[in-house]
Amino acid sequence: MPLYPSGSPAARTRAERFDALVLEALEPIEERWSAELADLDVAVDDVPEVPSGGLRSPVEDDAVLGDGEVPLARLVPAGMDRRGAVTRARIVLYRRPLEARALDGEDLADLLHDVLVEQVAGYLGVEPDTISGDEG
């Protein structure tokens, strides 16, 4: 028998709680920039993929937002996949590195907001303050 009713917030997995925080952090950005973000997807992976040649430093790749050597998110431009199908641009958030960096749930929510602001700014080619609404 489950400890909590299946519909209650306490019954959610860590991944489900993280996804809910992502949606919450993304909402004010999407409200303000919905037209500009119409062709952008946001995805969550547990951890970043490590290429067969080893992990490059995130600072070597402008599309990666990292904390030291640990990638927190990546902006993947639109393009084509291996089969030749057109792909949309997307921001990939790495759940476990983000959770590990946050002190608590509130800190994680703030961190997600900051990471999304940085990545959306990179996608749109504007300063992060423009996205967050903190411009002078």
Q: Specify whether the backbone of 125 is left (phi greater than 0), alpha (psi in -120 to 50) or beta.
A: left
Q: Across the strands, what pairs with 43?
A: 92
Each residue of 69-95: pLDDT tens digit?
789 999 999 998 899 999 999 999 999
Q: Across the strands, what pairs with 67?
A: 70
Q: 133 and 32 in contact (C-beta within 8 Å)?
A: yes
Each residue of 3-42: pLDDT tens digit?
555 565 555 788 999 999 999 999 999 999 999 999 999 9
Q: Which residues of 37-65 are buried (b: 16+ CB within 10 A; e: fewer)?
A: beebebeeeeebeeeeeeeeebeeeebbb
pTM of the predicted structure, to 2 decimals: 0.82
**How far is it, in rounded angstroms, from Cα 131 to Cα 129?**
5
Each residue of 37-66: pLDDT tens digit?
999 999 999 998 866 555 555 445 667 877
**How far is it, in rounded angstroms, from Cα 131 to Cα 72?**
19
